[in-house]
Structure 1
Amino acid sequence: MSQTFETLGRPLPPAPSAFSPAWRHVLDRPLGIRTELDRMRRQAPFYDATVDEIDGRRIRIGDHWLTDFASCNYLGLDLDREIIEAVPAYLDLWGTHPSWSRLIASPRPYDDIERMLAELLGAEDALLLPTITHIQHSVLPALVGRGALFVELHAHQTAHDGAAMVASRGGTVARFREDRLDRLDRLLRAAPHPRVICVDGVHSMTGNGPPLDELLPLARAHDALLYVDDAHGFGVVGERGPDESSPYGSRGNGIVRHLGAGYDNLVLVGGFSKAYSSLLAFVACPTEVKEYLKSAAGPYIFSGPSPVASLATGLVGLRVNERRGEALRARLHRLTSRFLDGLRGLGLGTLNTSGFPIVEIPLLDADNADPLGRFLYERGVFASVVPFPVVPRDQVGVRIQITAANTDDEIDHLLAVLGEAGDRFPLVAASGPPDPG
């Protein structure tokens, strides 16, 4: 034991490889298109970082303080005192973790959240699982079976991973582009049943929404199910109406309600890990589909559940949303508009045409991704540098995510740093104002 305490804080000698020479090829295998991502992960300070302290949206990495614009906590509920202070009571009631798989038993908060979710979304029912990754890998294959899955080319990587699961189980998989729905129409005509079309809601890179007004009629015409992954829209955007506090809409009930669509031929997938800062995800669907998924989706049967603190923050967060969500979304919209207006003032462009709080600024030269990230880091801005192949080469750049917990001073500092960056690393020029809705 004394030897253990004596060595604390000292660098340990490198351990011998646990892999025998016969297995070295696993670690030495070329990473192909992910080589650049791996290099940046190993070398860049803005990747794979250990955060030692937070203060609001300020973070400390080692002795370096930065403002966090890589957070997905859009409503700032990760820092909300009402939610934080509510957690201990749930721990006293339920312990730290229920441990049962959901097939065996679920604590009462699961039922409460599913009921509140269905009402908020205007859906018939909802099923909770720990993460959207769990859902993509299990629900997509369960819905498609040996039918046909059509995945939008720029959908989240987890959807493409789910597509690989579909293919491995005998389903047919094809990709399509949202700007070429005529090709999707032709593919659907020849596809076996069941047919599922998978798209992002609010896109995780561009911040833009899908063309639901075109996709839903297409899905219904071909008796296909439209599967919408709204990880970044749920909690942020919602139904439109005269009493909305901002162009993001009211209630935060997602992109489907925001665009005025319904749930016929549509399944909505979303998560609490963004706007609600909690480890939960859901499928909004008819009750008959929910009951089917309880036996068909592996995570419901075999996975451990979300910890009690996540159930608590999800449940209390939904109650906070009912009382204070509109004010938080109004603040989020104001800060995002301030940032987008500032970008235009600098002559800088973005892929964002929606005005939603995900703003990617592409580089003219993709090789500048690493230097740009280091430049921002050194000047106190922590942001997501997005290299190829995470995005196409012509979209490589920096992704900024605004939250309601950011401040006006932080937005001003970000704009000042981006102005300097634009002089040093040519960024895409502005082409026009974003649509505020």
Structure 2
Amino acid sequence: MTDTFEAPARSLPRARDTFSPAWRYVLDHSMGLRSELDRMRRHAPFYDAIVDEIDGRRIRIGDHWLTDFASCNYLGLDLDREIIETVPSYLDRWGTHPSWSRLIASPVPYDEIERSLASLLGAEDALLLPTITHIQLSVLPALVGTGSLFVEVHAHQTAHEGAAMTAARGGTVGRFREDRLDRLERRLRTAPFPRLICVDGVHSMTGNGPPLAELLALAREHDALLYVDDAHGFGVVGERGPAESSPYGDRGNGIVRHLGESYDHLILVGGFSKAYSSLLAFVACPTEVKEYLKSAAGPYIFSGPSPVASLATGLVGLQVNERRGDELRARLHRLTSRLLDGLRRLGLGTLNTSGFPIVEIPLTDPDRADELGRYLYDRGVFASVVPFPVVPRDQVGVRIQITAANTDAEIDDLLTVLGDAAARYPLLPVGAPPAG
């Protein structure tokens, strides 16, 4: 084991007596369930880090080099020279930022991306907004109104925050579990209209997909819409076929096409900040719904737009995806399989049953998450140690994310470190369900 590395010290907060009572009322307010996350953010070197330099998937924090397994840049397009070298021409043409709100005007790359997206996804139309967080907080309330929203309990936190906004605007909000759809069905029978069911596509922690066919059957039977947040699936998984380049499918057109479903009664939400390494997000929907959202969704009306560099990397990224995306997805699948096979050989279990490139390894003692995270950090592995309440207590552990820019050697080094960690920390054994 290498010598323990101490992250550069963060600036200390101001002394308590320098704040007025107005600030104290804010800062002394209990954070509740998020207090553990705040503690880790303040004290753990693997949280709130300042990265001083990158070299491929290697990052430098202070004078300490680590291999990055916390990145969401699944296709490695953040490092793609073809995409990087096209950005200056877009800046020369459009400047750095189109500072109109989209209600006022949009530069033509917006229209080009929306049309390309709709074609790629096989959807009728698409609307671009800056981030999925913007979409959750605005589109969910706009679609539900004073009707009913049902959010899967393990959906992304931003969906639950969108549910809170929906409730504040008069909607009825309930929660359900994917493994108890019978309970959801009973509630749908009497729920006020409009009815909307909200789930993750590829789940951001487990890496698994939803029971899409069953959910769509319920939605269609009960005149509800199914809203799928596929932040981690778009660009990674796509349509299946006998000539597919890998089990991830081809074209990267998302979980709906991957599972062979249609957009009937379905709205797909996705983003470019993961596989496409850019600041854009979208709602795939019928054109009439798109026009409705232009007047109903606050970010379209009031928010500043994405910068031109993001429009450029999104548009050129879609072009690269058509020409080289399947090759990148095949590489991503191979690297992820290398990791999953190695974990099985080490006797380590994971929540991942899909083979998609998000691999969480739970601890059977969640109180040792800090220790595990520091050990990995000291050994040169930068990964997300996921605490409660971000995940349930029985799923607290380390989340590994693979990208096409990782190397075989980096995966092998990671497996060596995880094998050593397993001798010190109570990681979930292979075949064992998380304690709960």
Same fold (TM over 0.5): yes
How far apart in 1 are the matches of 2:120 and 2:417? 39
Aligned residue in 2 for 1:5 = none
How far apart in 2 are the matches of 1:20 and 1:241? 64
Aligned residue in 2 for 1:431 = 431
Q: Structure 1 residues 12, 40: CA separation in 2 closer, same or farther (over 3 Å shift)?
A: closer
How far residue 23 of structure 1 moved from its aligned partner, in angstroms, is 3.9
> Given the two structures, how large is their TM-score scaled by the length of structure 2?
0.95
How far apart in 2 are the matches of 1:16 and 1:423? 43
How far apart in 1 are the matches of 2:142 and 2:217? 23
How far residue 18 of structure 1 moved from its aligned partner, in angstroms, is 6.7
1:288 corresponds to 2:315: no
Q: Which amino acid aligns with 2:350?
A: T
How far apart in 1 are the matches of 2:18 and 2:285? 46
Aligned residue in 2 for 1:367 = 367
How far apart in 2 are the matches of 1:244 and 1:38? 44
Aligned residue in 2 for 1:42 = 42
How far residue 34 of structure 1 moved from its aligned partner, in angstroms, is 1.2
Q: Which amino acid aligns with 2:48?
A: D
Deviations 1:180-233 (A, max 9, x none): 000000010110000000000000000000001100000000000000000000
How far apart in 1 are the matches of 2:384 and 2:12? 31
1:319 corresponds to 2:325: no
1:262 corresponds to 2:262: yes
1:178 corresponds to 2:191: no
The RMSD of aligned alpha carbons is 1.3
Q: Structure 1 residues 15, 364: CA separation in 2 closer, same or farther (over 3 Å shift)?
A: closer
Aligned residue in 2 for 1:4 = none
What is the SS of the residue equivalent to 1:67?
A: strand
How far residue 32 of structure 1 moved from its aligned partner, in angstroms, is 1.3
1:413 corresponds to 2:413: yes
Q: Which amino acid aligns with 2:424?
A: R
What is the SS of the residue equivalent to 2:179?
A: coil
How far apart in 2 are the matches of 1:180 and 1:201? 17
How far residue 22 of structure 1 moved from its aligned partner, in angstroms, is 4.4
How far apart in 2 are the matches of 1:79 and 1:23? 42
Deviations 1:310-342 (A, max 9, x none): 000000000000000010000000000000000
How far residue 276 of structure 1 moved from its aligned partner, in angstroms, is 0.1
Q: After alignment, is 24-33 or 383-392 more displaced?
A: 24-33
Aligned residue in 2 for 1:105 = 105
Aligned residue in 1 for 2:70 = 70
What is the SS of the residue equivalent to 1:204?
A: coil
What is the SS of the residue equivalent to 1:375?
A: helix
Deviations 1:15-42 (A, max 9, x none): 7877412441210112111111111100
What is the SS of the residue equivalent to 2:369?
A: helix
Gaps of 5+ in 1: 1-10, 433-437
1:376 corresponds to 2:382: no
How far apart in 2 are the matches of 1:46 and 1:329? 28
Aligned residue in 1 for 2:3 = none
Q: How does 1:135-214 map to 2 (within 5 A)?
A: 135-214=135-214
How far residue 13 of structure 1 moved from its aligned partner, in angstroms, is 10
Q: Structure 1 residues 227, 14: CA separation in 2 closer, same or farther (over 3 Å shift)?
A: closer
Gaps of 5+ in 2: 1-10
1:132 corresponds to 2:136: no
What is the SS of the residue equivalent to 2:74?
A: coil
How far apart in 2 are the matches of 1:21 and 1:249? 57
What is the SS of the residue equivalent to 1:179?
A: helix
Aligned residue in 2 for 1:301 = 301
> Given the two structures, how large is their TM-score scaled by the length of structure 1?
0.95
Q: Which amino acid aligns with 2:185?
A: D
Deviations 1:79-128 (A, max 9, x none): 00000000000000000000000000000000000000000000000000
How far apart in 2 are the matches of 1:103 and 1:21? 41
How far apart in 1 are the matches of 2:15 and 2:422? 44
How far apart in 2 are the matches of 1:408 and 1:302? 46
How far apart in 2 are the matches of 1:328 and 1:35? 39
Runs of 4+ in 1 over 2 A off after TM superposition: 11-19
Q: Which amino acid aligns with 1:408?
A: D
Aligned residue in 2 for 1:60 = 60
What is the SS of the residue equivalent to 2:196?
A: strand
Q: Structure 1 residues 106, 17: CA separation in 2 closer, same or farther (over 3 Å shift)?
A: farther
